[in-house]
């Protein structure tokens, strides 16, 4: 171990970071130890921390079950990463992942979102309380729903989001719930039963239940429905490069991107009101950065998909991309937004800056006002692709 690294480790210990075996951990030269809190942080044996943008806030716990590698992640208060690899992801208060995790760029776990052991995520956004079981591959999707840790959206163990097609594209993001209503933390949870899968791009309404062992291949936009797979089977010819349901694929991709753009406005105007010691500006910056990564990924994948098409969407893509770029900062109805922000400010004044508490104590009419503002953003973006 170099003298420079040992000096950093000693400084972390002097700040109050608990490092039971200091000779077993590795701190990269580019790590700014001023971005690592000394209050209640524990870094167990075998952990490696890299990246100039890495942020670790109070109460975080790294590597309790197995070594953890962190590379340019923003880790909020009381987050528990028990073992695995984490790169260019952000974790908000009390989020957690079990050992064997493989969490890559563009991933956001909001408050109390969690995964058990051996979960793979990339370009994945989980809203508060969403819970993943074990042995899951859940890349390229967004999931919301649920109102608390006891009433949460859940993905059962051994589940997979199928995000790569035989035609070798990834125009496959699935929107499970949505942003405009999901941010209000007042929607019915969604349940994806274990030993099953979801074929992207797919959209599921709040309250959807998919029975264990089922593969869902179709959208379900009606709330509170149960989906289960029967015994029907088939064997049909396949020709590479031939797409079925191109319009549905395009529609679902555009709606997914529009939801991410609505979430950008939510982070900019609503989340920003909660900046505090437990949610500093640096953590908010991490959220915005990962959301930008997610949006860029979806546009890039959709571009590749369109370029495979002859005529139609393929010819229209340059125009479509220009429109999406122009709409990246679509603010929606600013009158609705400002009225909603007044409600947020009122709740913050009375309840403090605890995000979950403030959102959950919104009156029904106020939550509907905020959802209407965000849905308006989605609609303004998607309406231009209706024909």
Q: Give the neighbor-by-neighbor strand order of the sheet with 160-162.
A: 26-27, 48-50, 68-71, 84-87, 101-103, 119-121, 136-137, 160-162, 197-199, 215-216
**159 vs 228, more confident:** 159
Query: How many Å apart are CA 173 and CA 339, to the nearest integer?
Result: 32
Please give the pLDDT value at position 231.
Answer: 64
Pairing verdict, β 26-27 and 48-50? parallel
Classify residue 87: in a domain, yes or no: no
Is residue 237 assigned to a domain? no
- Residue entry with tokens 């505090």: 276
Decide: 139 and 124 in contact? Cβ < 8 Å: yes
98 within 8 A of 119, measured Cβ to Cβ: yes
pLDDT in tens, 18-29: 999 999 999 999
What integer best gives the mean pLDDT of the chain? Answer: 95
Of residues 212, 214, 176, the one with CA closest to residue 194: 212
Looking at the domain assignment, is residue 238 inside a domain? no
Total residues found in the chain within this entry: 387
Name the strand (E) or helix (H) holding 289. Answer: helix 281-307
pLDDT tens digits along 236-257:
676 777 777 889 999 999 999 9
C-beta of residue 219 within 8 angstroms of C-beta of residue 256: no
Spatial distance between the Cα atoms of 213 and 203, rounded to a whole number of angstroms: 19
Residue 227, in any domain of the structure? no
**pLDDT at residue number 236:** 65
Query: Among 78, 91, 111, 76, which Cα is nearest to 359's?
Result: 111
Give the pair of three-digit tokens for residue 6.
């040992």
Would you say residue 235 has pLDDT above 90? no
Structural domain of 287: 248-385
Domains contained in the chain, number: 1
What's the pLDDT at 199?
97
Task: Determine, yes or no, domain membership for 373.
Answer: yes
Asked if residues 305 and 253 have their Cβ atoms less than 8 Å apart, the reply is yes
**Would you state the pLDDT for residue 73?**
98
pLDDT score for 270: 98
Structural domain contains residue 328: yes
Determine, yes or no, domain membership for 307: yes
Is residue 337 very low, low, confident or very high in pLDDT (cuts 50, 70, 90)?
Answer: very high
> Residue 141 and residue 201: Cα distance in Å, rounded?
9
pLDDT digits (tens, 9 = 90+) for 252-277: 999 999 999 999 999 999 999 999 99
| Residue 273 domain flag | yes
pTM, two decimal places: 0.94
């Amino acid at each position: 171990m170099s003298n420079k690294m040992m000096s950093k480790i000693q400084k972390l210990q002097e700040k109050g970071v608990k490092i039971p075996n200091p000779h077993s951990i590795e701190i990269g030269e580019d790590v700014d130890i001023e971005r690592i809190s000394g209050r209640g942080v524990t870094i167990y044996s075998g952990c490696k921390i890299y990246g100039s943008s890495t942020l670790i806030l109070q109460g975080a716990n790294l590597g309790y079950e197995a070594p953890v590698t962190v590379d340019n992640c923003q880790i909020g208060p009381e987050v528990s990463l028990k073992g695995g690899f984490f790169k260019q992801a952000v974790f908000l208060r009390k989020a957690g992942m079990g050992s064997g995790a493989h969490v890559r760029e563009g991933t956001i776990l909001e408050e109390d979102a969690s995964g058990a052991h051996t979960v793979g995520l990339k370009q994945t956004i989980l809203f508060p309380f969403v819970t993943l079981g074990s042995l899951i591959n859940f890349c390229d999707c967004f999931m919301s729903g649920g109102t608390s840790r006891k009433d949460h959206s859940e993905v059962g163990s051994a589940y997979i989001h199928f995000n790569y097609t035989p035609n070798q594209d990834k125009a496959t993001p699935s929107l499970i719930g949505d942003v405009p209503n999901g941010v209000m933390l007042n929607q019915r949870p969604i349940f994806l039963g274990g030993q099953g899968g979801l074929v992207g791009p797919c959209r599921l309404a709040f309250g959807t239940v998919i029975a264990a062992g089922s593969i869902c291949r179709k959208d379900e936009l009606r709330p509170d429905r149960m989906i289960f797979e029967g015994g029907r089977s088939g064997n049909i010819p396949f020709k590479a490069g031939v797409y079925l349901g191109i319009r549905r694929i395009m529609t679902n991709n555009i709606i997914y991107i529009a939801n991410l753009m609505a979430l950008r406005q939510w982070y900019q105007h609503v989340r920003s009101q909660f900046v505090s010691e437990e949610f500093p500006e640096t953590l908010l910056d991490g959220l915005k950065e990962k959301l930008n990564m997610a949006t860029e990924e979806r546009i890039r994948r959709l571009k590749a998909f369109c370029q495979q098409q002859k005529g139609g969407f393929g010819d229209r893509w340059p125009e479509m991309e220009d429109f999406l770029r122009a709409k990246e900062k679509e603010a929606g109805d600013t009158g609705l937004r400002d009225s909603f922000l007044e409600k947020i400010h009122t709740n913050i004044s009375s309840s403090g800056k605890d995000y979950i508490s403030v959102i959950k104590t919104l009156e029904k009419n106020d939550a509907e006002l905020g959802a209407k503002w965000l849905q308006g953003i989605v609609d303004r973006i998607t309406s231009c692709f209706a024909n």
